[in-house]
Amino acid sequence: MKQKKKVCWASYFFANSIDPSKIVANINFESTPVWEKARDFIAVGAKYSTLEDILKKILKKENLKYSYFSMANQGFFYRSDQFSFARKGIPSIWITAGEDYVSGKNRLKEFFTGNYHTPEDEYNPEWKLDSTIQTIKIALLLIDYINRNTPEIKWKGKMTFPVEN
């Protein structure tokens, strides 16, 4: 039986409507944590490009650790919006506050094993949003760094997926 191709349609159509040579990088937000502050950050897909090196510098300045997502084996890079851009050759990452929270709980793992993509996956007004604010701050610092320093952002090694031109 042939497996049906899964595509994030909105990002697919957008990525296919732009000139990839005019895009420096894609920074994606997916399932951004909404709890207390994290002590670490993850960047799904960053290991494939020099965006990882830039992000590590920024996090170090902010006294945050850089971590790898414990659920990376579930293919989040390939099933999230940034992949549509990566397939066009644009270095792409999904950044988020990580899994080491001030409370000691692994809230991100709780999220993905709880109500994620169920009818109960609803906004809760009791969420603190500290990690959301943290994620936005790091994204802004990353964008500012790229804008001020204009680094050449490149892929590391051979891609494990086809790049469409």
Domain presence at residue 43: yes
For the stretch 52-91, pLDDT in tens is 999 999 999 999 999 998 888 888 888 889 999 999 999 9
Domain presence at residue 104: yes
Listing DSSP states for 62-112 in one string gives TT-EEE--TTGGG-TTTTSTHHHHHTTT--EEEEEE-S-BTTS--HHHHHH
* pLDDT higher than 70, residue 2: no
**Cβ pair 3, 76 in contact under 8 A:** no
> What is the residue range of 84's domain?
32-117+127-149
Domain presence at residue 57: yes
**CA nearest 159: which of 101, 103, 94, 90?**
90
Average the pLDDT over 96-103 and give the result. 91
| Counted domains in the chain | 1
Burial of 71 from C-beta contacts in 10 A (0-12 / 13-18 / 19+): middle
- Share the mean pLDDT of the chain: 88
Domain presence at residue 36: yes
Domain presence at residue 58: yes
pLDDT band, very low/low/confident/very high, at 1 (cuts 50, 70, 90): low
Domain presence at residue 9: no
Domain presence at residue 94: yes
